[in-house]
Chain A
Amino acid sequence: MTDPRIPVTEDELHAYVDGELPAERRRDVEAWLATHADDAERVHSWRTMADALHARYDTVANEPVPARLEIERLDRAPRKWVYGAIAASFAAFVVGGGTGWLAHGAAVSPSIFQSFTVDALDAHRLYVVEVRHPVEVPGNERTHLQQWLTKRCGWDVRAPELGATGLKLVGGRLLPGPTGPASFLMYESASGERFTVYTAKAATEATQMRYTAQNNEGALFWADNGVGYVVSGGSDRDRLTQVARLVYDQIEKNGG
């Protein structure tokens, strides 16, 4: 038995509310609360707080579980982050329908995807509409552009040759990225469609490819050798996938 004359501590008040207090001490606390209005008020406010939390968030637990969280679906996800998994996910984009998260089983924290694509899509939207000054260094100074961006970013920045998809290098610029500098390259086709390739330091070594679309602009994100890549442009996902595949193949060939 505990001594009812021993003053009730704040820890005991919390333990009382959370059902962690030994049964024999509960009665002491109840007697204490009857004569200590301040503590009684605090205990009451914590219970009200718990009610408010349940009122706000229990509805989430009662919602139907979204399809992407179904166990059966997650089971079919690839198990490993390997070189092949990135390439394999290209096929998933072509086959899969709709927009959103196509590559399941991502062991990368969602924020990496988020912060990259948000930055890259912002930059994409900001500069693709620019007619006179879309880039800092024009595409006809490709060697200088690559050297400059490589030096400033700290990883090998090479502007891929995207002629096979009808795209020509407009040029590039240096941007602030999530955790340091980012490189930004712009390409253009004869018909004026523009694609951008954004790279920045990634917190993970390698990830699968993920797709997202926002206001008619699609983006594909992946990370490789600690560098994150976002290829953005247009709402035609097949076209974007074609461009991204070419970017990916050349980076892979050059050893990242």
Chain B
Amino acid sequence: MTAFRQSVEAMIPALRRYARALARDADVADDLVQDTLVRALRSERLFLGGDVRSWLYTILTNLNKNRRRSLARRPQFMPLLENNPDASGTEAEGRDIARALSTLVEEQRAVLLLVMLEGLSYREVADIQGVPIGTVMSRLARARAHVKAALEGERPALRRVK
């Protein structure tokens, strides 16, 4: 296996994590990863050095953007009630963060996840999204404010419901 392939392979777990948080649905997430890998492997000859990691995140982010564009005309279904009294604290927190993420617009969610979950630099995220660093920073600030509000707004309400 070439060094290129090895570095692509090493990224699969992180790509799955990013895709899961980005797309929420586990099957859709793995479809995104699969399509990302296929594109990357096909383009091996076109890849002239540089950072494989950023490149893979770029492909996945763009594929998800296309996916959402074609879904845009379809109504989104959200569960009305997601109450599970048996859920442990961690599970409930996991649900909260997933729900808060789902309320973000696409670009903001991608920035938040690339920076906070995947640990990419502002510069790398700017390259991935094809925008100036200032745009990345304002998207990140808005995303954090939004998620914070969503988390804080939700928890007391859930506690009241016995």
Contacts and interface: CB of A to CB of B under 8 A. Distances in A.
Contact of B67 (A49, A68, A104, A110): A110
Given A18-B122, A49-B147, A71-B5, A107 B38 contact: yes
Interface size class of B (residues with CB under 8 A): 35 or more
B119 to A, nearest CB: 9
Contact of B93 (A52, A58, A109): A52
Contact of B17 (A11, A55, A57, A178): A57
Interface in A1-56: 10-11, 14-15, 18, 20, 42, 45-46, 49-50, 52-56
Interface in B30-57: 30-35, 37-39, 41-42
Nearest to A41: B148
Interface in A78-109: 79, 101, 104-109
A108 B37 CA distance: 13
Contact of A74 (B38, B122, B141): B38
A175 to B, nearest CB: 14
B54 to A, nearest CB: 16
B39 A107 contact: yes
B87 interface: no
Nearest to A46: B144
A14 B94 contact: no
B104 interface: no
A226 to B, nearest CB: 13
A104 B34 contact: yes
A54 B34 CA distance: 23
B94 A109 contact: no
Contacts of A58: 17
A115 B30 contact: no
A227 to B, nearest CB: 15
Interface in A109-123: 109-112, 114-115
Given A56-B21, A56-B97, A61-B17, 14 more contacts: A20-B121, A61-B16, A63-B16, A68-B34, A74-B37, A101-B34, A106-B35, A108-B35, A109-B35, A110-B28, A110-B67, A111-B67, A114-B28, A178-B74
Interface of B: 1, 5, 8-9, 12-14, 16-17, 20-21, 28-35, 37-39, 41-42, 63, 66-68, 70-71, 73-74, 90, 93-94, 96-98, 113, 115-117, 121-122, 137, 140-141, 144, 147-148, 151
18 contacts: A11-B137, A15-B122, A49-B116, A49-B148, A50-B116, A52-B94, A57-B117, A60-B16, A66-B30, A71-B12, A71-B37, A101-B34, A105-B38, A107-B35, A109-B66, A114-B28, A115-B70, A178-B70
Q: Which 6 A-B pairs have the closest CB atoms?
A: A110-B31, A61-B13, A56-B94, A111-B67, A61-B17, A52-B97
Interface of A: 10-11, 14-15, 18, 20, 42, 45-46, 49-50, 52-58, 60-63, 65-66, 68-69, 71, 74-75, 77, 79, 101, 104-112, 114-115, 178-179, 203
